[in-house]
Structure 1
Amino acid sequence: MNLVVTVLEIVTPVFLLALVGFTWVKTGHEYRLEFVTKLTMTLSVPALIFTALVNADIEPAALKALSIASVVAYGGVTIAAWLAIKLLRLDARTYLAPLIFGNTGNLGLPLALFAFGEAGLSYAVVVFAVMALWSFTFGVYVTAGGGSLGKAFKEPLVWATALGALFLWQGWTLPRFAINTLELLGQIAIPLMLITLGVAVARLHPHGLGRAAIISLGKAILCAGIAALAGLFFGLAPVPLAVLVVQIATPVAVTSYMLAEKYGANSDEVAALVVSSTLLSVLYLPLLLALLI
């Protein structure tokens, strides 16, 4: 029961903020999507990623083992998702990134903290960093429809993750005023992204959610299974193993919608995946945690 309450406490604000965006559009107010997307993806989200990594506390040996397991797990999920898309004849630009990348930031990090304490949060940040690097290189490349990989490396998120990982590895930090400023900037990322998600939901057709729910359930099972196999293969301890599985099995990330909107993929279908997978996570995340703890 406590795990169910924990997940509900984390997921409920997601829907309330999305409801703000939904209501805003339905009541006829203007919403400048291009401006909000640029603000979050260029400034706020990079600040959020960098400060999360700088503030993480994890031993070098555990960092190495979990990092390798995370890379292998995401590699396995990528291959499996690509095969599923080919089999189901789905649009890779729209579906590949959402099937690979979960909401490891505003859902995975708090869930790891509440379920496993400060140690769990530190492990979750490592998985989050691996996800961010892969998402904003390969994920951007796929969503943008190919082209030069240089397009992906122009993303501020990539450099924020790389720099944050360097600071974590070396044990560096910034002056307190700089960290405070970046933390404030990062704090606006999650509510803005969720409100923008609500804007997209306001434009959805209800029949699209049924197929999205089936795909989302398949994603959860696929990701959890591959992550568990990777973690067991590399002999992770119980807590980092549990964090790895939960992080990779989180529902579709709001940033997947933002990238689809930015690069011209079918953002409405991605929004349906975000909504349906987040709803399903209320049911499957407590069950998953009960098996892992």
Structure 2
Amino acid sequence: MSVATIYLFIIIGFVFKRTFRDDVNERTIVLLNLYFLQPILIFWGLTRAPLSFELLISPIIYFIAIFIVLGIAYLYSLRAFKNEIQDKSIFMASSLVGNTGNLGIPLGIALFGLESVPFTSALNIANIFYIYIFSVYFFAGEKFNFTNSLKEIFKIPAIWFTFFALLFNYFDFHMSADFEKVFTMGAYTAIVMQLVIFGIFMSQVKIRSANWNLALNISLFKHFVLPVVGLFVILFFDLPAFVGAIIFMELFVPLAVNNVNIASLYKCKPIDTTFSVLISSFIFIFLMYVYIVSIEMFFGL
């Protein structure tokens, strides 16, 4: 999926909500995508290529960088969002979650060629784990205690489909051609639906009353703190330049649209979350040249 196609589907969602307004129930669309289409997408993605040791290295390094910054973000949030519990939840849930699927995979092809697809897919898997475990916990945390928040995590079908897909892949099972078509159609539908959902919520953003403090703090960590810390982690492990560059790329992509799904599901300011994704996307466009120069400088690619 090209970047132009991604923006096309976002615009379709935007126009759709603007045109029909009260006739569009975005929560119904979110539930359909989250509980039915997203599990299909995850299963389909995790069964595209056989598991290998090489594919396991990059997600481990990715997680190390993520969790180091997660600790920094938590300490930062204690002061930045002292009296705003929901803003703190959104900040912790979304500031480290990048668009590693819809944007990361095609961007990897553009920068590094088709050889990058297995690695970008593996990193997208790692991102999915983070979203459906840690992001769900933070978004649900304000409404539930720790035990109930963990229960909420395991109500998300994506968790179970992830483990099922890994077992399916590990034992080298194969789907028939007909089932392969069904899962492929479902996966692409999930991607399109996710972009349309983002457009629907984007149409409700009001720039003048938008939560700029939240959006800018999230972008600070997503586009500056995380890439810098991630770069040091990658260089510390002395990875092959090709693998290191791909991990770095997946760390600097803008916020994931999937954040809007979870925020909407737990009614945790989905409009403010959408605005944060929007600001992150604009900042990414302006910093893209700096990121590419950094890849050339540190990885020689």
Q: Which TM-score applies when normalising by structure 1? A: 0.88
Q: Give the corresponding residue for 1:253.
A: 256
Q: Partners in 2 of 1:154 and 1:162 — Cα distance? A: 14
Q: CA deviation at 1:163?
A: 2.8
Instruction: Pick the aligned partner of 1:41 from 34, 41, 59.
Output: 34
- Give 2:105's aligned amino acid: L
- Give 1:12's aligned amino acid: A
Q: Give the corresponding residue for 2:132.
A: 136
Q: CA deviation at 1:252?
A: 1.0
Change (3 A) 1:73 1:157: same
Q: CA deviation at 1:45?
A: 1.5
Instruction: Pick the aligned partner of 1:12 from 4, 24, 35.
Output: 4
Change (3 A) 1:235 1:166: farther
Q: Is the 8 A contact 1:209 1:276 kept in 2?
A: no
List per-residue Cα deviations over 1:240-259 (Å, max 9, x = no partner): 11111111221111110110
Q: Is the 8 A contact 2:50 2:170 kept in 1?
A: no
Q: Is the 8 A contact 1:224 1:245 kept in 2?
A: yes
Q: Is the 8 A contact 2:62 2:123 kept in 1?
A: yes
Q: Partners in 1 of 2:161 and 2:232 — Cα distance? A: 30
- Give 2:225's aligned amino acid: L
Report the identity percentage: 23
Q: Is the 8 A contact 1:78 1:100 kept in 2?
A: yes
Q: Is the 8 A contact 1:42 1:156 kept in 2?
A: yes
Q: CA deviation at 1:272?
A: 0.4
Q: Give the corresponding residue for 1:224.
A: 227
Q: CA deviation at 1:264?
A: 1.2
Q: CA deviation at 1:117?
A: 2.2
Q: CA deviation at 1:160?
A: 2.3
Q: Which TM-score applies when normalising by structure 2? A: 0.86
Q: CA deviation at 1:57?
A: 5.5
Alignment of structure 1 residues 1-293 onto 2, 5 Å? 10-29=2-21, 30-56=23-49, 60-89=52-81, 91-145=87-141, 146-147=144-145, 148=148, 149-207=150-208, 208=210, 210-211=212-213, 212-213=215-216, 215-292=218-295, 293=301
Change (3 A) 1:164 1:115: farther
List per-residue Cα deviations over 1:221-253 (Å, max 9, x = no partner): 112112222222222211111111111221111
Q: Partners in 2 of 1:14 and 1:22 — Cα distance? A: 13
Change (3 A) 1:221 1:172: farther
Q: Partners in 1 of 2:106 and 2:169 — Cα distance? A: 19
Q: Give the corresponding residue for 1:5.
A: none
Q: Partners in 2 of 1:225 and 1:165 — Cα distance? A: 31
Q: Structure 1 stretch 35-44 or stretch 205-214: which is displaced more?
A: 205-214
Q: Give the corresponding residue for 1:6.
A: none
Change (3 A) 1:215 1:111: same
Q: Is the 8 A contact 1:129 1:165 kept in 2?
A: no
Q: Is the 8 A contact 1:99 1:252 kept in 2?
A: yes
Q: Structure 1 stretch 260-269 or stretch 208-217: which is displaced more?
A: 208-217
Q: Structure 1 stretch 190-199 or stretch 279-288: which is displaced more?
A: 279-288
Q: Partners in 2 of 1:12 and 1:237 — Cα distance? A: 31
Change (3 A) 1:56 1:194: same
